Amino acid sequence: MNSVDEILDYAIDQEQQAADFYADLAGRAEKAGMKEILLDFAAEEQSHKQRLLAVKAGDHKLTPEQQVLDLKISDYLVEVGASANISYQDALIVAMKRERAAFQLYSDMAAKVPEGHLKEVLQGLAKEEAKHKLFFESEYDDRVLRDN
């Protein structure tokens, strides 16, 4: 992946894969109420994909300079499996971990390319993933850690 378009295509594909992942999990979900929640997650990923498609079309700009709050919640949580019996807490952990991995991937790639447009796009994508991670971490903080 050397061009901006290739990077964006990869990112768009990743968002689609994430949406498919949650939609598939929703189809298998056994716990009450989890199907709707996982479908919400899938819709969230679809909205990320739409945003990136808009970036590729030139209708929207990534903002690499924007600072995103890092709550560091997912950094110290254990890995959990995405089983059909997944709970809401675990579904959020899966989502947070996925966003964190994507953030790290784009951050690492940005660190390896020279200054220029490509670097800016990678940094912008990293910031996007950081925002997604913050979204799920805030949800975890509000709902799972509500009494804590």
Partner 1 sequence: MNLKDLLSPFYVWQRAFEKPYTSIRPIQERPGAAAYRGFHINISEECIGCGTCHKICQNDAIDMVRVETYEGRSGDSGLRPRFDYGRCCWCALCVDMCPAGSLRMSNEYTWITSDPTEFHFTAGVEHTTWQDNPLGYHRAEGYHLYPPKRIEMEMLPPEVSVQSFDEVVAGYSEPQALLEADRCIECGICVATCPAHMDVPDYIRSIRDRDYEKGLQLMYRTNPFPATCGRICTRRCESVCPVGIQGEAIAIRWLKRFIVDQIQPQDYARILADQTGNSGHRVAIIGAGPGGLSAAYYLRKQGHAVTVFEAQASAGGMLRYGVPSYRLPDADLDKDINYIVSLGVDIRYNTRIGKDIRFEQLLQDFDALFLSTGLSVPSSMRIHGEEHPRVLSGLQVLADVASGRDPGVGQKVAVIGGGNVAMDAARVSRRLGAEVTILYRRRIADMPADTEEIHESQEEGCHIVTQAIPVEIIAASSPQQVSIKWGEAEMVQDPKGGRPRPVLQEDRMHVETYDCIISAIGQGSDLEFLSKEIQDQLAIEWGKFAPGEYQHTSLQKVFVGGDVANRTADAISAIEDGHHAARGIDRFLNPDARTHTDQEVN
Q: Tell whether residue 77 is a contact of partner 1 (CB under 8 A).
A: yes
70 vs 9, 67, 144, 148, CA distance in Å? 26, 9, 17, 19
How many chain residues touch partner 1 (CB under 8 A)?
29
Q: Is 143 in the site for partner 1 (CB under 8 A)?
A: yes
Cβ neighbours of residue 92 closer than 8 Å, sequence gap 6 or more:
136, 139, 140, 143, 144
Select 54 or 84, whichever has its Cβ closest to partner 1.
84
Residue 47 contacts partner 1 per CB under 8 A: no
Name the maximum alpha-carbon separation found in the chain.
49
Q: How far is CA 118 from CA 28, 48, 100, 106, 115, in A?
A: 39, 20, 21, 11, 8
Which pair of structure tokens corresponds to residue 96?
A: 């947070």
- Give min distance, CB of 62 to partner 1, in A: 18
Among 33, 58, 81, 114, binds partner 1 (CB under 8 A): 33
Q: Is 40 in the site for partner 1 (CB under 8 A)?
A: no
Scan residues 97-136 and list those touching partner 1 (CB under 8 A): none
Give the interface with partner 1 as residue ranges (CB under 8 A): 30-33, 36-37, 69-72, 75-78, 80, 87-90, 93, 138, 141-148
